[in-house]
Structure 1
Amino acid sequence: MGPLPDPLALPVTDNSDLTLLTVLDHRAATTPDSTFIEFMGETVTFADLSGRVDRVATAWLQMGLAHGDRVGIASRNSVDWLVAYLATVRVGAVLVTLSIMYREREFTHMLGQSGARVLLCESAVADFDFQAFLSDLRPQLPSVEQFVFFGTEQPALGHGWTGIAATPADPVAVAAAFDRVRATDPAVILYTSGTTGQPKGATLTHRSLLGSAVGQVERYAQGPDDTMLGVMPFNHVGGLTCTVGSSLVSGGAVALLPGFHPDLVAEAIARGHITLFAGVPTMYTMLLASETFAAVDTTRIRTCVVGGSNLEPALAERVRAAFPSARLSNLYGLSETSGASVISHPDDSPDLVDTTIGTPIGDVQARIVDDSGDLVPPGAEGELQLRGTSVADGYWDMPAETRSTFLPDGWLATGDMGTMTGDGHITIRGRKKEMYVRGGYNVYPAEIENVLSTHRSVALCAVIGYPDPTFGEKGCAFIVPAPGQVVDIDELRGLCTQQLAAYKVPDQFEVVDSLPMTPAGKIRKSELTWGPPAQ
């Protein structure tokens, strides 16, 4: 076989047949000794990774896994996680990504709904014993035939990862399995984070994952000399595609952490080779409050990416001050778009970065429609819909839900309300389902949260609507105090009154120690409720 083409020379379109492992094979053949992953003192090259993947792929075939089978995984970020992922798709199986924060309800729903035959899981995390947990839960997981545990060689249940990873590779068998893999095959079932309801399994294909990654690489001009700090969880598109997928496509490296912690991030940046840092607003807020981070030289970092939720202008200014050499960029994407779909343009001014999420990347098209599905004029408000190669192949085994979100002609209904300028810059107002109607007026929580976050006493905030017999709905703001600060509710109400229309000012303010979070660091508003005290 001749030399493999550079993935970036092959546009990822509806006609391309590029797969994730084609890209890995290209990197292992052309730059075998280049570092791809740095993790806890370990350095893994593209050639190292390829060899590990083929060994585990051989083990999967020997365990009877076949094309289209599902493999669940619940673990913190690690090299082993990445090996398991790529080995699974190497043989044409599908990875079902879970969070180690999940418990009985999530495990039974996601593994059962996906029909996973194998589950990989950490043996224990902190004081939680996953072996004992899954042993008790096993009767509720009828599809799972095999359990594999990281962190132990001889688990009481199933297999140890060490033995799986040491399986001698069978190149002939692996190649035969890989010959059946197509770009349109499912690669990952990634369950939506469930901020507003029951999680649904977005079915991401090789083509959709690469479509998003290639578009991101082009927008950020990522290359072999870049090292991205990997803090987003792999069970989220922020870790799976925006971090690992884009670095695989670009030939760059990932400085991987098991998870986000401000001190670990500060130490990684202090080592001086990180050029790209991506996180959600919550992560930036926590990092900027870290005493360890305050002494770190950040001047090597050329781009700071903020994704996952609304970027408040006040936080944007703090990030710019903390990373003086970096360009601040928004990144908008969904599980259903396999990763990034809209990113700030390199020519965007700070004002545009603070007020828009950017413009579509790659072959992504965007439109804003009203409740009837008709296009609205530039600047008018409606629902954002997207179309492009990166759009997922529906929800796994949920045809009704798929039809309501994945529309005819390839359009995806994002559920986000926003506006778009004539030149394609998009502003998000908030989630369609988060919007509430107070006395006939639409209220978008993100707008109120932007105002509240400017106050010195507010570390985090979330606004929701709640039923009211007179106005239909009213608003409640949940406030997490900043360290060392006391929240004065009258001050916050006055701030909102000064900057917002009266109907947008929250009717209630609740000071809380913390807010419920998804594994990806977004606030889980579906768990926030407020009602008047019982009489």
Structure 2
Amino acid sequence: MSDTVPGLVRAAAEKFGDATAYAMDGRTLSFAELHDQVRRTAAVYRSHGVEPGARVVLWAPNSIDWVVAGLAATYAGGQLVPANSRYTPHEVADIIERTDATTVVVANGFLGRTQIADLREVAPLAPVIDLADIGALAAQADVADIAAVEAAAYAVTPDDVADIMFSSGTTGRPKGVVTAHRQSVAAGASWAGVGEVSDTDRYLVISPFFHSYGYKIGIIVGLLHGCAIYPMAVFDADAALALIESERITMVPGAPAIFLGLLESPAFAGTDTSTLRFANTGAANVPIALVERLQRELNFDLVITAFGMTECVVATMCRRGDSDETIATTCGRAIDGMETAIADPDTGEHLPPGSEGELLLRGSQVMLGYLDDPAATAEAIDGDKWLHTGDVGVLDENGYLRITDRLKDMYICGGFNVYPAEVEQALTRLDGVVDVAVIGVPDERLGEVGKAFVVRRDEGGPDEESVIAFAKERLANFKVPREIEFVDALPRNLSGKVLKNELREGSSP
């Protein structure tokens, strides 16, 4: 097994050749064709100044073109920097500036937006390439261009940086999680091993490619095992069910809400799901009834829950043979190459099985660190190489993990992590706003949504509609608070920290 992404692209072409690598919207691409298009696109990047170690920002939804453009970044010897397709131009411009990106590839028109024009308004000097133009540019690559690209690809080592994925942090500004090639490859290999993935699988990828799960547990897995991947740009239950039946899909990872959407769709009763065999879910406790429905109604033979984060993509997984209760109430046990521990959040002392405390992770999957932020890296990864996750959990005597709470204030809206500090920082820039605190509150459809408590300078300040409109200009939709409550002051302790527990208690139904 190659320990670099370019090596995987090359090896997959040699091993799987004309077998289907991707199929989407009537278009198919074999592994051999994927390799050819990737290296030609890498030649385009090199003509735009992408040298070893340079950063390529990719702002686009799931598509075959995303895969080609993303893999070409590392094939050229560069580093891939995916941007959330729902981000605003302001958020993408910040990523471009912080990574000093040599090339910015943008898909125009997603969700009816004008991404390129909007980005150029806030970042006029950004080196933008329209994703739709890359194919024509790549076709012009000659033998000398390809030879230069191959030399760059062969020079990539397992310890080189493969990707930088931005994950919002509690400081209020997204952090760039830096990962080496060997780690990205190992994440896909570990997950695929537990999932018993083979070249006969047909894999429906709903997770966004800009997310570590869509990229490393989607694209990388496909290269490793030769399974055909069917990406979705936006989840639609009826469309997903149609694909499951027509393409004989075998694998579907996703949050619990994805599977509930399939089961509750009016189209479900008339859909043949007999080819399904492997489901992977997680991110929260999963009702035992849902696990049973996945097995009984969706015909999955293997249902696995897992735990991971951008800083450590795959940490724990359940295994074949685990009981339904274990699968539903735990995140499994550590995968090969990883260790788990529970520590007292105040003293750092490791606690015995059955004790509740902060989850620590150590091993091959833990990130290299945060981009240009040694202080945050040192805070996250201690001297003994343990990653402090900020999640509260319990390990049983067999090492199975149960997440019970969060030390951090993060909440999950529609499957996306939202960090209140980032939202608060954006809203405090609005004229007339003095103070802001944001919490997550339950939502039947999205799991949790944001509620902002806003202190205005006076009653003539911004109203609820203008606060939400301002947020929509600056933040991705999933980060925008759905509810605004104006208060005279925020509750704080003697050290000035906002008492968010009091806000949560006051917002309980």
Matched position secondary structure for 1:59: helix
Q: Is the 8 A contact 1:124 1:130 kept in 2?
A: yes
- C-alpha distance in 1 between matches for 2:170 and 2:63: 26
- C-alpha distance in 2 between matches for 1:196 and 1:348: 38
1:314-463 alignment, distance < 5 Å: 314-337=289-312, 339-371=313-345, 372-434=347-409
Read off the aligned partner of 2:239 and give its amino acid letter.
L
* 2:128 aligned partner: 147
Structure 1 pair 111–320 and aligned structure 2 pair: CA distance change class (3 A): same
Read off the aligned partner of 1:48 and give its amino acid letter.
E
Match of 1:200 among 175, 181, 184: 175
Could you give the per-residue CA deviations for residues 307-343 of structure 1, whole angstroms, max 9, x where no partner exists?
3444344543443443134332112111111x32211
- C-alpha distance in 1 between matches for 2:487 and 2:291: 38
Could you give the per-residue CA deviations for residues 409-431 of structure 1, whole angstroms, max 9, x where no partner exists?
32211111101112111111122
* 2:459 aligned partner: none
Number of corresponding residues: 439
- C-alpha distance in 2 between matches for 1:320 and 1:527: 36
Shift of 1:70: 0.7
Shift of 1:476: 8.2
* 1:478 aligned partner: 442
Q: Is the 8 A contact 2:175 2:370 kept in 1?
A: yes
- C-alpha distance in 1 between matches for 2:445 and 2:41: 47
Match of 2:39 among 28, 46, 54: 54
Match of 1:239 among 214, 229, 250: 214
1:256-335 alignment, distance < 5 Å: 256-335=231-310
TM-score after normalising by structure 2: 0.79
- C-alpha distance in 2 between matches for 1:351 and 1:178: 46
Shift of 1:243: 1.4
Structure 1 pair 479–82 and aligned structure 2 pair: CA distance change class (3 A): closer
- C-alpha distance in 1 between matches for 2:15 and 2:305: 32
Q: Is the 8 A contact 2:7 2:154 kept in 1?
A: no
* 1:83 aligned partner: 68
Shift of 1:194: 5.5
- C-alpha distance in 1 between matches for 2:481 and 2:166: 18
* 2:466 aligned partner: none
Shift of 1:279: 0.8
Structure 1 pair 528–342 and aligned structure 2 pair: CA distance change class (3 A): farther
Q: Is the 8 A contact 1:33 1:47 kept in 2?
A: yes
Shift of 1:150: 2.5
For structure 1, the residue ranges without an aligned partner over 5 or more in a row are 1-6, 8-16, 152-159, 436-444, 450-461, 465-472, 483-515
Q: Is the 8 A contact 1:196 1:433 kept in 2?
A: no
Is 1:125 matched with 2:106? no
Structure 1 pair 481–189 and aligned structure 2 pair: CA distance change class (3 A): closer
Q: Is the 8 A contact 1:212 1:241 kept in 2?
A: yes
Shift of 1:408: 2.2
Q: Is the 8 A contact 1:299 1:326 kept in 2?
A: no
Structure 1 pair 118–353 and aligned structure 2 pair: CA distance change class (3 A): same
Tell me the percent identity. Answer: 28
Match of 1:25 among 2, 5, 10: 10
* 2:19 aligned partner: 34
Shift of 1:48: 0.6
Q: Is the 8 A contact 1:195 1:523 kept in 2?
A: no
- C-alpha distance in 2 between matches for 1:148 and 1:18: 29
Shift of 1:477: 4.6
Could you give the per-residue CA deviations for residues 336-383 of structure 1, whole angstroms, max 9, x where no partner exists?
11x322111112100101111111112111111112221100010111
Shift of 1:530: 7.3
- C-alpha distance in 1 between matches for 2:445 and 2:391: 28
Read off the aligned partner of 2:49 and give its amino acid letter.
G
- C-alpha distance in 1 between matches for 2:362 and 2:235: 32
Q: Is the 8 A contact 1:210 1:390 kept in 2?
A: no
Structure 1 pair 434–216 and aligned structure 2 pair: CA distance change class (3 A): same
User: Which 10-residue stretch deviates more, 119-128 or 311-320?
Assistant: 311-320
Shift of 1:108: 2.3
TM-score after normalising by structure 1: 0.76
Structure 1 pair 194–285 and aligned structure 2 pair: CA distance change class (3 A): farther
For structure 2, the residue ranges without an aligned partner over 5 or more in a row are 421-436, 447-470, 490-509
- C-alpha distance in 2 between matches for 1:231 and 1:209: 19
User: Which 10-residue stretch deviates more, 258-267 or 349-358?
Assistant: 258-267
* 2:159 aligned partner: 184
* 2:139 aligned partner: 166
Read off the aligned partner of 1:41 and give its amino acid letter.
G
Structure 1 pair 523–213 and aligned structure 2 pair: CA distance change class (3 A): same
Read off the aligned partner of 2:129 and give its amino acid letter.
V
Matched position secondary structure for 2:341: strand
User: Which 10-residue stretch deviates more, 186-195 or 75-84?
Assistant: 186-195
* 1:486 aligned partner: none
Read off the aligned partner of 2:47 and give its amino acid letter.
Q
Q: Is the 8 A contact 1:72 1:119 kept in 2?
A: yes
Q: Is the 8 A contact 2:41 2:135 kept in 1?
A: no
Structure 1 pair 322–197 and aligned structure 2 pair: CA distance change class (3 A): farther
Structure 1 pair 424–69 and aligned structure 2 pair: CA distance change class (3 A): same
Shift of 1:533: 6.1
Matched position secondary structure for 2:155: coil
Structure 1 pair 291–194 and aligned structure 2 pair: CA distance change class (3 A): farther
* 1:213 aligned partner: 188
- C-alpha distance in 1 between matches for 2:167 and 2:35: 29
Shift of 1:31: 2.2
- C-alpha distance in 2 between matches for 1:242 and 1:249: 10
The two structures, once aligned, show a CA RMSD in angstroms of 3.1
Q: Is the 8 A contact 2:59 2:105 kept in 1?
A: yes
Read off the aligned partner of 1:133 and give its amino acid letter.
D
Q: Is the 8 A contact 2:48 2:102 kept in 1?
A: no
- C-alpha distance in 1 between matches for 2:485 and 2:116: 40
Structure 1 pair 382–527 and aligned structure 2 pair: CA distance change class (3 A): farther
